[in-house]
Amino acid sequence: MTDLLAARAQMAMSLAFHILFAVVGMAMPLLMVAAEAMWLRTREAGWLDLAKRWSKGTAVLFAVGAVSGTVLSFELGLLWPSFMAEAGPLIGLPFSLEGFAFFFEAIFLGIYLYGWERVGERLHLAAGVGVLCSGVASAVFVVSANAWMNTPAGFEGDLETGLHSIDPYAAFLASSFPTQAVHMVLAAFVTVGFAVAAIHAWRLLKTPQSAFDRRAFAVALAVGGAAALVQPLSGHASAEHVAHEQPLKLAAMEGHWETLSGAPLHVGGWPDEAAEETRWAIKLPYMLSILGFMDPQAEVRGLTEWPPEERPPVAVTHVAFQLMVGAGTVLMAVSALGAGLAWRRRGPPLDPWYLKLVVLSGPLGLVALEAGWVVTEVGRQPWIVRGLLRTADAVTPMPHLILPFTAFSALYGVLGVTVIGLLRRIVFTAPVEADDAAA
C-alpha cells in the first residue's frame, strides 16, 4: 500500500466512523425531545422513561463522536498539510463556527442530562431543543467546508501565482452548500430514525406487549419515515446542481461515457473503465437529461470528454451512487406503506409482517449514508479541492503511513464494540411495564 493510499484509507475510515456519531448528534435529540414532549402532554411515566434512556444513549454517542471528531481534526493537519495551508483561510470560518456549535451542544446536553429535577419543565425541554439545534448547526458548518471543496469559491488566483482576494463568506456559501446541507440533515433523520425503529421493531416481535418499545418505535418511525419521504426532493435538487456544476462527477455517478442529447439513466450495471462502457445496466431513455436538466433533449457530457487521468474511479462512484439511490428508494416505499397503515389504524403500524419489514430495512439508512459520502468524496477525485489542489499533491511527505492507519483502525474497532455494549446496558434493558399486560 502506497503512503497516498494509506492516507486516503485512513481518512475514509475515520470519516465513515465519525459520520455515524455526527448523524446521531443531529437526530437523536429530536427523538428524546419528542418523547419528553409526549410526557409533558400525557404525563405517562413511560414517555419520561423513554426520554431519559434516549438522553443517556445520546450522551454516550456524543462522547465518542467528540473523540473521533478530534482525531479527524488532527488528521487533516498531519496527513494533508498542503491542503490546510492553502484552504485554511477559506474554510477556517465554518470550522470555527462548528467549534462554537459543539460547545453549545455540550452545554445544552449537560443541562438536559442533569437538570431533570433542577430546572423547570419548559426550560428543560428548551435545553433539549438547544441540543437539537446545536447538533444540526455543527454538522451544517462542516458540510459547508466540504461544499467548498466540491465547488471552491471566495478567492482569486491559483496555487502557482498564489491565492488572493480571500472572501471567507463567499467560501462559506459555496454554490453546493444549500443542497448538500439539506440533503445531509435529512439523511441523518432517515438513518437514525430507521435504525432506532428497527431495533424496537425487533424487540416488539419478541415482546409485543412492551409499551416501552411501542412508544419508541412510533416516534423513531415517524421521524425516519417523514424524512425518507422528503429526501427524494432534496436528492433531485442535489442531482441538478451536480449536473450543472460538476458534470464529470455526474458522468461517473451514472457510468455515462458518451456525450448525448436525450441521455438515458443507467439503473445498475458495472462500468468497464478499460472498454469505456457500462455493462449490464438497464437504460431508461431520456431520464438522465430530464433529471439533470428538466429537458428530455438536454445534452449530458460523457466521461470520454475528459482524459483518463482526470476521471474519478468510475466503478466505485457508480456503484456507491446506485446503492444510495436504491436504499433510499426502499426506505421511501417502506415509509409510504407505514404511513398508509398508520392512517388506516389510527396508530403506529404494529403488524408483525410490517415490523419484520422495518427490521430488514433498518440498516439501509446506514448503507445510503456511507454510500452517499463515497459518491461525494470519490467522485471528486483526483482533486482534494476540485480544480485547485490534487490529492496526491496535498498528502504529507511522512513515510510509513500504513502504521497509523492500522493503529486507528484497531482503535475504532474497540470503540465501536464498547459503544454497542454500553447502549445495550443503558438504553435497551427496559423491563416490560406493569400496565403492558392490559395493553
> HEC profile for 233-248?
HHHHHHHHHHHHHCHH
Length of the chain: 439
Assigned domain for 396 exists = no
Assigned domain for 223 exists = yes
What pLDDT does residue 433 have? 52
**DSSP bridge partners of 64:** none
Domain count, the chain: 2
Cα gap 190→197, rounded to integer Å: 10
Q: Are residues 172 and 190 in the same domain?
A: no
Q: Are residues 132 and 154 in the same domain?
A: yes
Cβ atoms of 155 and 167 within 8 Å: the answer is yes
Element (H, E) at 191: helix 177-206
Q: What is the β-pairing status of strands 260-261 and 299-300?
A: antiparallel
Cβ atoms of 430 and 210 within 8 Å: the answer is yes
Cβ atoms of 327 and 369 within 8 Å: the answer is no
318-352 burial by CB neighbour count: b if 16+ within 10 A, else e? bbbbbbbbbbbbbbbebbeebbeebeeeeebbbee
SS3 282: strand
Return the ∠ at Cα 349 (arms to 348 and 355), rounded to 5°: 125
Contacts of 210 (CB under 8 A, 6+ apart): 203, 204, 430, 432, 433, 436
Element (H, E) at 261: strand 260-261
Q: Which domain holds residue 133?
A: 1-159+168-176+401-432
Q: Residue 285 — left, alpha, or beta (φ > 0 → left; ψ -120 to 50 → alpha)?
A: beta
Cα gap 77→168, rounded to integer Å: 19
Say which residue the cell 423513531 belongs to.
Answer: 220
Q: Are residues 95 and 205 in the same domain?
A: no
Q: Are residues 353 and 417 in the same domain?
A: no
The angle that helices 314-345 and 364-378 make with each other, rounded to 10 degrees, is 150
Q: Are residues 354 and 218 in the same domain?
A: yes
Q: Are residues 124 and 34 in the same domain?
A: yes
CB atoms within 10 A of CB 418: 12
Task: Tell me the pTM.
Answer: 0.92
Q: Are residues 126 and 227 in the same domain?
A: no
Cα gap 117→273, rounded to integer Å: 63
Assigned domain for 390 exists = no
Run means of pLDDT, 10 residues per run, the chain, 439 residues? 88 88 91 95 91 89 84 86 88 92 93 91 94 94 94 88 87 94 95 95 91 93 96 93 94 94 92 92 93 92 94 95 95 95 89 95 94 94 93 89 85 82 69 43
Q: Are residues 236 and 350 in the same domain?
A: yes
Contacts of 383 (CB under 8 A, 6+ apart): 389, 390, 391
Cβ atoms of 368 and 331 within 8 Å: the answer is yes
What pLDDT does residue 434 have? 43
Q: What is the β-pairing status of strands 270-272 and 260-261?
A: unpaired
Q: Are residues 138 and 200 in the same domain?
A: no
Assigned domain for 94 exists = yes
What pLDDT does residue 319 have? 96
Q: Are residues 288 and 237 in the same domain?
A: yes
Assigned domain for 85 exists = yes
Instruction: Give the chain's largest Cα–Cα span.
Output: 76
Please report how many Cα atoms fall inside a 13 Å half-sphere around the Cα of residue 266, on the Cβ side.
25
Of residues 15, 74, 81, 6, the one with CA closest to residue 395: 81
Residue 419 dihedral angles phi and psi, to the nearest 5° = -65, -45
Of residues 201, 194, 321, 303, the one with CA closest to residue 256: 303
Cell of 94: 465554518
Assigned domain for 409 exists = yes
Cell of 350: 404494529
What pLDDT does residue 437 have? 38
What pLDDT does residue 439 have? 34
Which amino acid makes up residue 184? M
Q: Are residues 110 and 233 in the same domain?
A: no
Assigned domain for 392 exists = no
Assigned domain for 385 exists = no
Q: Are residues 230 and 298 in the same domain?
A: yes
